[in-house]
């Protein structure tokens, strides 16, 4: 038996072999797969690794803010990827299950955080908001409309008031 290639499907890499009869084979977990063509074996690998890829548990803490401040802190577990969309599947500590998409992310996603880490992030977020507001006020107090000021100066000069 000769190693032919490595095939990666659903985040799982599998070693593909070919024997003297031209049969393509591989092992995934405790199961053996074989096919008469590489393409047929790749289909089997895809189906088998989807089952493996589903068996994960990645704990997360999600912190979300709204304009009034802290909106929510939620703990959950990412359990895999949706086989059709590739979206992250998550089960919240409340038992609610959903998919996270690029437009449906309920805040910043972190590794599990301690209460102290959450408090520190909330403090930093508040300081960031205050700094942005201070900067906005400073800019508003010092900004000019240079074109408007030049037009006014030209007009004043033409009127003889300058």
- Answer with the residue of higher pLDDT: 128 or 1: 128
DSSP letter for 48, please.
H
> Residue 128 belongs to what H/E stretch?
helix 115-142
Residue 125 has pLDDT above 70, yes or no: yes
pTM over the 0.75 mark: no
Q: How many CA atoms lie within 13 A of 150 on its CB side?
A: 3
pLDDT given for residue 142 in this prediction: 97
Please spell the DSSP secondary structure of 55-116, one letter per residue: ---EEEEEEEEETTEEEEEEEEEEEEE-TTT-PEEEEETTS-EEEE-TT---SEEES---HH
Residue 128 dihedral angles phi and psi, to the nearest 5° = -65, -45
More confident residue, 73 or 66: 73
Indicate the range of 46-55, 112-121, 126-135 predicted with least confidence. 46-55
d(CA 120, CA 3): 52
Residue 103 has pLDDT above 80, yes or no: no
Question: What are 84's two structure tokens?
Answer: 């059709």
The pLDDT tens digits of the residues spanning 45-71 come to 998 887 765 568 999 999 998 877 778
Write out pLDDT tens, residues 142-152.
999 999 999 99
128: left (phi over 0), alpha (psi -120 to 50) or beta: alpha
Is it the case that residue 29 has pLDDT exceeding 80?
no
Query: How confident is the model over 8-29, as a mean pLDDT?
Result: 88
Position with higher pLDDT, 131 vs 9 = 131
**CA pair distance 122, 63, nearest whole angstrom:** 9
3-class DSSP state of 3? strand
Boundaries of every domain in the chain = 2-54, 58-113, 117-156
């Amino acid at each position: 038996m000769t190693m032919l290639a490595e095939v990666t499907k659903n985040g799982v890499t599998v070693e593909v072999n070919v024997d003297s009869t031209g049969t393509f084979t591989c092992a995934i977990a405790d199961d053996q797969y074989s096919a008469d063509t590489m393409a047929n074996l790749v289909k089997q690998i895809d189906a088998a690794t989807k089952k493996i890829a589903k068996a994960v548990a990645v704990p997360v803490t999600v912190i979300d803010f709204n304009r009034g401040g802290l909106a929510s802190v939620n703990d959950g577990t990412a359990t895999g990827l949706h086989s059709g969309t590739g979206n992250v599947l998550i089960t919240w500590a409340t038992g609610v299950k959903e998919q996270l998409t690029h437009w449906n992310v309920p805040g910043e996603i972190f590794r599990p955080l301690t209460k102290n880490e959450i408090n520190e992030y909330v403090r930093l977020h508040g300081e960031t908001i205050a700094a942005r507001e201070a900067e906005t006020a400073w800019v508003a107090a010092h900004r000019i409309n240079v074109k408007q000021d030049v037009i006014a100066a030209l007009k004043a000069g033409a009127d003889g008031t300058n």
